[in-house]
Chain A
Amino acid sequence: MCGIVGLFVKNPDQRASLGANLSRMLVGMTDRGPDSAGIAVYHDPSEAGWCKLTLFHPDETYAWRAMAGELAAALEEETDVSLKANHAVLAAEAEEGAVRAWLTAHHPEVRIMGYGTLMEVYKDKGKPASVVDKYGIAAMGGTHGIGHTRMATESAVTTEHSHPFTAASDMCLVHNGSLSNHNRLRLWLQRRGQVFESDNDTEVAARYFAHRLGEGASLREAMEAGLKDLDGFYTFAMGTRDGFAVLRDGIACKPAVLAETDDWVAMASEYRSLAGLPGVEDAKVWEPEPTVVYSWSLN
């Protein structure tokens, strides 16, 4: 069992409180996932020509600044790094693919949690309340974010196995459920150039959607294609640079509830996660229908 949440803020005046509301929602899903938690926040856009990557190393004393200096020298570009416990947000005035290639070649011990120009991803073991505190999520503003609380049933409780999974620039996915055709789909995606970092079924779904988006599909089209190609149980919440989407499989045995006001739209596995949102008393609250793609866009 897991809990998933997503919050998409429509009213620019409420974007300062994105992190505070998302934290409250994630903590509300503690009973569904006390082992580990992860969160992706879309905020703090990079300057033109810059990219940012969220990196993880289990050692909190890892020499991030030295690594950022090496990168700056290698690419002959500026870099900046800010530290949050065992995570670091690395900004570079460079093309993000080049930074990722350099990191993979020179610092394979560092895990890339997310990359792009907006999205930052934090995942860690422990209760959701301690994870959001550790990374200061509540203080973050932003446009949208998604989160996951995990109760592991099949694979180890590690940061690597925690959601959200990133598979493209500023794209991430959280999942409640399990996929049954992920092995075959992984091979299919590998033949089409996707590179995998774990044996996790949700990573397969994330890379599947990234593959479809890379082919030019819209967020909605990518998710609709998933209805045909992904076999299993799922409630997904996906974030992209300017969009947010929710999808449930046809059997719909994994829960989901949506709530929407003029100011925001929120999704969670259970209503109690939404109970603290401002104005939720007057929100439209409904259960997303199976096989229907619900999506929102900033544009």
Chain B
Amino acid sequence: MTEFDLAEAPIRELNSRLHKLPPDTNERAWRIVNPRGAHSIAVGLTLPIEVRIEGHVGYYCAGMNKEATVVIDGQCGWGLAENIMSGTVRVTGNASQGVAATGRGGLVVVEGDAGARCGVSMKGVDIVVAGSIGHMSAFMAQRGRLVVCCDAGDDLGDSIYEAVIYVGGKTGRLGADCIEKEMTAEHVADLRAPLERAGIEADPTKFRRFGSARKLYHFNVDHADSY
């Protein structure tokens, strides 16, 4: 276990050390203490290492993550795991806005609530939120699964493409071109997988599914007034 104390050394030193690790590194387990809300902790990781951050973090934690497993034992600011490529990012508390924005792969788990714009423009990442999410979540979401065990705020899935949203609780007003769809056995199985990977206990048969009505895909001159 390699320990790094952010009260003793700056964030750039930490990220620089993590970036310089060779592929065959023996430093595969890291413990980071005293984050004190600092931004950009453990961004741009590219190796299958495990990083545990003990305390609350600021913006963009674990951004662009590839292969690594990052666990934040605390609360988290804006842009958690932004543009995640692969690997797993988990926060034990709440996360603020823009969780896994533009994420292309991997898994992001929020054990508390997530704020607004969760999964905005997601492109393949799986996001599992044990609590509720804020407004404008999954805006222009293209691919991947957004799983919300409790409630979703207003304008869910506005202008959504082919991402799939599963909601266990209530939804507010749905966004443009987002509709509720049938939840078949195939979808229950599709939902079970990310819940199990996330280690979140929830009954997949109790969820509702939302996705694109596909009415905004192409310009239609007859609908010119509604654009």
Contacts and interface: CB of A to CB of B under 8 A. Distances in A.
Nearest to A286: B94
Nearest to B135: A290
B56 interface: yes
Interface string A268-280: 0011111110000
B37 A287 contact: no
B134 A271 contact: no
A271 B116 contact: no
Given A285-B75, A289-B134, A274 B37 contact: yes
A81 interface: no
Contact of B58 (A272, A281, A290): A272
Contact of A272 (B37, B96, B97): B37
A28 B196 CA distance: 40
A255 interface: yes
B75 A275 contact: no
A285 B56 contact: yes
A272 B39 CA distance: 9
A287 B58 contact: no
B94 A270 contact: no
A11 to B, nearest CB: 22
Nearest to B59: A270
B63 interface: no
B173 interface: no
A270 B97 contact: no
A252 interface: yes
Interface residues of B, number: 20
Interface residues on A, range: 10 to 19
Given A252-B97, A287-B96, A287-B115, A272 B36 contact: yes
Interface in B69-109: 75, 77-78, 93-94, 96-97
A25 B55 CA distance: 18
A270 B76 CA distance: 10
A271 B56 contact: yes
A247 B58 CA distance: 21
Contacts of B213: none
B174 interface: no
Contact of B37 (A252, A271, A286): A271
B21 interface: no
Interface in A177-234: none
A179 to B, nearest CB: 20
B93 A285 contact: yes
A257 B93 CA distance: 14
A252 B117 CA distance: 10
Interface string A61-93: 000000000000000000000000000000000
A270 B116 CA distance: 16
B38 interface: yes
Given A272-B38, A275-B56, A290 B78 contact: no
Contacts of B135: 250, 252, 290
Nearest to B112: A286
Interface string B43-63: 000000000000111110000
Given A271-B37, A271-B75, A285-B93, 18 more contacts: A252-B97, A252-B116, A252-B135, A255-B96, A257-B77, A257-B96, A271-B58, A271-B77, A272-B36, A272-B38, A272-B39, A275-B36, A276-B36, A286-B94, A287-B97, A289-B134, A290-B116, A290-B135
Interface of B: 36-39, 55-59, 75, 77-78, 93-94, 96-97, 115-116, 134-135
Interface of A: 250, 252, 255, 257, 270-276, 281, 285-287, 289-290
5 contacts: A255-B97, A257-B77, A271-B58, A272-B38, A281-B55
Counting from the closest, the 6 A-B pairs by CB-CB distance are A272-B37, A271-B37, A275-B36, A275-B37, A285-B75, A287-B115
